[in-house]
């Protein structure tokens, strides 16, 4: 059984966990498959990727799921202008 080291989390108004992956490459692929269309002319967004250690169980509109702790920086963020992943840490 594989352990998820990374979680793909997006959402415009409420955070939503799209799933996890044991590798960063797997998480990037999962994020690409789960692009979200945001309203108010914001267009398409890829969810951010967070380390599993930076997530905790939270209950919101979608139910109980693993979401980032308050103030945590993502491991990887999609740069729509340059069409590449960046690491903000």
CA angle 34, 50, 42 (to 5 degrees): 45
The answer as to whether 51 is a domain residue is yes
Q: Is 1 inside a domain boundary?
A: no
Q: Is residue 78 assigned to a domain? A: yes
Contact present, 75 and 49 (Cβ < 8 Å): yes
pLDDT score recorded for residue 45: 94
Positions of the chain with pLDDT under 50: 1
Q: Which CA distances in Å does 29 have to 21, 42, 58?
A: 9, 22, 24
Please tell me the predicted confidence (pLDDT) of residue 40. 84
What's the number of domains the chain is made of?
1
Q: Is the separation of the CB atoms in 76 and 27 below 8 Å?
A: yes
With respect to residue 31, please indicate whether it lies within any of the assigned structural domains.
yes
Q: In the structure encoding, which two tokens stand for residue 35, read together?
A: 């692009």
Contacts of 48 (CB under 8 A, 6+ apart): 8, 9, 10, 31, 74, 76, 77, 78
Is 10 inside any structural domain?
yes
* pTM greater than 0.95: no
Residue 82 is assigned to a structural domain of this protein: yes
State the residue range of the domain holding 47. Answer: 6-86
Strand partners, 56: 67
pLDDT at 48: 97
């Amino acid at each position: 059984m594989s352990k998820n080291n990374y979680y793909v989390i997006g959402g415009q108004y409420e955070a939503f966990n799209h799933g996890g992956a044991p590798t960063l490459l797997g998480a990037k692929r999962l994020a690409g498959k789960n692009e979200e269309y945001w309203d108010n002319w914001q267009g398409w967004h890829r969810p951010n990727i967070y380390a599993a250690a930076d997530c905790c169980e939270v209950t919101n509109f979608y139910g109980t799921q693993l979401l980032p702790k308050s103030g945590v920086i993502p491991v990887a963020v999609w740069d729509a202008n340059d069409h590449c992943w960046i690491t903000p840490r």
